[in-house]
A and B are shown apart, each in its own frame.
Chain A
Amino acid sequence: MKVTVIDYGLSNLRSVQNAFAHCGAETLLTSSAADVRAAEALVLPGVGAFRDGMAGLERLGLVEVIRQKAAEGTPLLGICLGMQMLFDESEEFGTCPGLGLIPGRVVRIPDTDLQGNPQKVPHIDWDPLFPAGGRTDFAGTVLEKVAPGQECYFIHSYEAKPADEADRLADTRYGGRDVCAVAAHGSVVGCQFHPEKSGPVGLSIISQFLNICQK
């Protein structure tokens, strides 16, 4: 299985490649629209600011080709900022349009918790995944091998709010509120946490993504 990892200048690419290699995949790191067009499966990693990320994709002429691939049903995994860019828009540094592959917005994590007490932003922690969007388990999804309650590593100041509840695959909780941890829409899936940094649980998600890609 060969996975095409999109390099737009803002990522922990080595860690992403290492994690996919550990799970038995060959990776192609690329900034080229032609490589993305030819991809069997795509990974959109990401660390940094939304506007810079979208500007990077636009500069490289990758926005339209990523949209096309998603429309054709090519599996696409977005990680952290890469997950947020799958949505319609973000309010990070003024409203900025995203890829529009999952309906919804990206907003700042509130600086108070549900009780009105101050809470830390960025949210940095290992936090549990719970089934969301009306699901009671993760069967048949990219989280198939994850037991509800298992923890992954989150580090983010913004959070995605899917417009359609059904697109919420898993939530975590921060400050008493549900936070979208995994969103999925058609062949597109996004993880707010870093599966490549989430130990054996994260690796099980990557390996299940690869299984789905091979189907």
Chain B
Amino acid sequence: MANKIRLIARLDVKDTNLVKGIQMEGLRKLGDPNQFAKKYYEQGIDELLYIDIVASLYNRNNLSDIVRKTVNDVFIPVCVGGGVRSVEDVRHLLSMGADKVAVNTAAIKRPELITEIAEAFGSQCMVLSIQAKRSRTWPGKWEAYYDCGRAHSGYDVVEWAKRGEALGAGEILLMSVDNEGLQRGMDLELIEAVTKAVHIPVICGGGVGCGDDIVEAARAGADAVACAAVLHYEKETVPELKEEIRAGGVEVRSV
């Protein structure tokens, strides 16, 4: 059980808009991602996660300009993912101000990319992003998806996480596709299974609807929790979430 948690705002971007869907479908446009980023920074979020949500479908990442603007006045860690295919893509995003990159599709297609990125920039830059969906064919297991939750890899999520660590990933971003956008709590069994299997920090996402969901995720082993809808729709603010997390007996950074 983690007794302390990092609270991360996840900003899914399509073209130049912040978007939010449910189970990665039916995307709604919510506005300028930079304005959301700045608001969350001022409210005391611990980290930002930008994902170009359709990048891998179009083989490009559109986030350079958004990241470059964000880091002018947001002084917390920024992780960027979506469509990252090569060491050169990583170099470019880092030069725009990203601190880490999250890689999913390209790592599934060519796992050695994890090692190449870790060797070039350090493991701390290389976040292995896993979209996990409960498997109908393997009871009690999850399968890793890619291309925006649409394509299945045939990889068992727990085994893939372990292999990612062995290949040099410094962190895992674990999203539950089943729970994503529903705001009805996280897949705690998934969190427990993955965090028990690896020795690197795991950022968990998908399903946060209130502070108690985050407390439960921390108890299940999450090192960090990524929130989207709960913040974007102003159901709760960052300080409100943090107060609930502390009330639940889990530490979180105070601002």
Contacts and interface: CB of A to CB of B under 8 A. Distances in A.
Contacts of A156: 124
A126 B124 contact: no
Contacts, number: 89
Interface in A157-205: 157, 194, 196-200, 202-203
Contacts of B39: none
Given A18-B71, A153-B77, A202-B75, A122 B200 contact: yes
A32 interface: no
A88 interface: no
Interface string B217-255: 000000110000000000000000000000000000111
B21 interface: no
Nearest to A12: B99
A197 to B, nearest CB: 5
A13 B68 CA distance: 12
A12 B97 contact: yes
A96 B46 CA distance: 34
Contact of B200 (A14, A18, A121, A151): A121
A157 B77 contact: no
B125 to A, nearest CB: 7
Contact of B75 (A13, A151, A157, A197): A197
A interface secondary structure, majority? mixed
B97 A157 contact: no
A15 B75 CA distance: 8
B208 interface: no
A198 B76 CA distance: 6
A22 interface: yes
A166 B170 CA distance: 32
Interface residue range, chain A: 20 to 34
Contacts of A151: 253-254
B38 to A, nearest CB: 13
Given A48-B121, A122-B123, A151-B253, A197 B76 contact: yes
Which of A124, A197, A202 has the most CB atoms of chain B within a 10 A radius of its CB? Answer: A124
Given A124-B223, A153-B76, A157-B123, A15 B200 contact: no
B134 interface: no
A15 B97 CA distance: 6
Instruction: Return the 6 tightest CB-CB contacts between A and B, nearest first.
Output: A126-B253, A48-B122, A14-B97, A155-B124, A124-B201, A151-B253
Interface of B: 4, 6, 41, 44, 46, 68, 71-73, 75-77, 94-97, 99, 121-125, 170-171, 199-201, 223-224, 253-255
Given A122-B123, A198-B76, A203-B75, 7 more contacts: A18-B72, A18-B75, A19-B75, A47-B121, A122-B171, A153-B46, A200-B255
21 contacts: A12-B99, A13-B95, A14-B71, A18-B72, A18-B97, A48-B122, A120-B200, A122-B170, A122-B171, A124-B6, A124-B201, A126-B6, A151-B253, A151-B254, A153-B46, A153-B77, A197-B76, A197-B99, A199-B44, A199-B255, A200-B75
